[in-house]
Amino acid sequence: SSPYRHEPVEDWYIVGEEIGSGHFAVVKKVVCKRSGTEFAAKFIRKKRASTSRRGARREDIEREISILQELNHVNIIKLYDIFEDKQDVTLILELVSGGELFDFIAERDVLHESEATAFIAQVLEGLAHMHLKNIAHLDLKPENILLTNRAQAVIKLIDFGISRKIEDGKNEIQMLGTPEFVAPEVIAYEPLGLYTDMWAVGVITYILLSGCSPFLGDNKQETFANICAVDFSFDDEFFGNTSDLAKDFIRGLLVKHPGRRASVTDCLSHPWIKPI
């Protein structure tokens, strides 16, 4: 039997509204009956038959859980409990009320660079904690960056469904994140690594400062072509008031050769992030 709790989730939590859904998972707000504390419950549908295409594979569920259990950082969502029944494995996760970073930005017209650096610095802190343990997120995108609340805006990274331990030379992972945010090595089926997350940080920063997506084309093929050609520019219409430091920070990340791309440590000591 699995080490996860086999009692029904409903015995311990009042299950509330759905707040999100993904490939094989639904996320709902739940309230702990004993403490009254709110959590997010991620119900992951298990694959029933090995031939079925529906549902998550056991090893993928167990990988996400073991990665979450290894991480312990203020900018990474916490896993508190795990239930399992015939149909689902359910993760009881820290709930944050601020929702997605990009909804927050969408409600504002312009974001000052100082606010952008405050958000990006926290993304980098969470990533530094992961990269120190050789764990790559591999699906970094605005939907996976949540805010605790609108006031002092602490960010939390979520969704480790395709994150991986990067072992040297053994990370030929055939997977694709979200086209807009994937690095050239993902498209070229070359080894992925911690550096794959850093490309995504470059794309996210570019969007945070301009509201535009650097490589987005009219379709997937066009987007992939733009990424492989590293075809982006700082259009004056959107970057007219952006500092040279900010552009330098982004240029250091949107680099095709993974070995030449800025690491999370490089970024944390970049003058745009760490004013001297």
Ligand X SMILES: Cc1ccc2c(c1)c1c3c(c(C)cc1n2CCCN)C(=O)NC3=O
Of the two residues 76 and 254, which places its CB atom closer to ligand X in the complex? Answer: 76
Per CB under 6 A, 42 contacts ligand X: yes
Among 19-27, 64-72, 203-211, 262-270, the segment contacting ligand X (CB under 6 A): 19-27
Of the two residues 95 and 124, which places its CB atom closer to ligand X in the complex? Answer: 95
What is the size of the binding site for ligand X (CB under 6 A)?
A: 17
Per CB under 6 A, 159 contacts ligand X: yes
Q: Which amino acid is at 110?
A: V
Q: How far is CA 62 from the centre of its chain?
A: 18
CB neighbour list of residue 164: distance below 8 Å, 6 or more residues apart: 63, 67, 135, 136, 138, 171, 173, 192
Shortest gap between Cβ of 94 and ligand X (angstroms)? 6
What angle, 0 to 180 degrees and rounded to 10, lies between the N-to-C axes of helices 194-210 and 113-132? Answer: 170
Catalytic (active site) residue 139? yes
Q: Which of these, 118, 157, 155, 119, lies nearest to 137 by C-alpha position?
A: 157
Question: Which one of residues 62, 113, 115, 143 is an interface residue with ligand X (CB under 6 A)?
Answer: 143
Per CB under 6 A, 20 contacts ligand X: yes
The rounded distance, in Å, linking the Cα atoms of 87 and 83 is 11
Per CB under 6 A, 180 contacts ligand X: no
Of the two residues 42 and 261, which places its CB atom closer to ligand X in the complex? Answer: 42
* Binding residues for ligand X restricted to 74-103, rule: CB under 6 A: 77, 93-97, 99-100
Question: Which one of residues 7, 10, 19, 23 is an interface residue with ligand X (CB under 6 A)?
Answer: 19
Sign of the dihedral through C-alpha 90, 96, 99, 105: negative
Of the two residues 93 and 254, which places its CB atom closer to ligand X in the complex? Answer: 93
Using an 8 Å Cβ cutoff, are 258 and 230 in contact?
no
Shortest gap between Cβ of 81 and ligand X (angstroms)? 12
The rounded distance, in Å, linking the Cα atoms of 138 and 131 is 11
| Beta strands 135-136; 164-165: pairing state | antiparallel
- Residues with catalytic roles: 139
Residues at the contact surface with ligand X, assessed by CB under 6 A: 19-20, 27, 40, 42, 77, 93-97, 99-100, 143, 146, 158-159
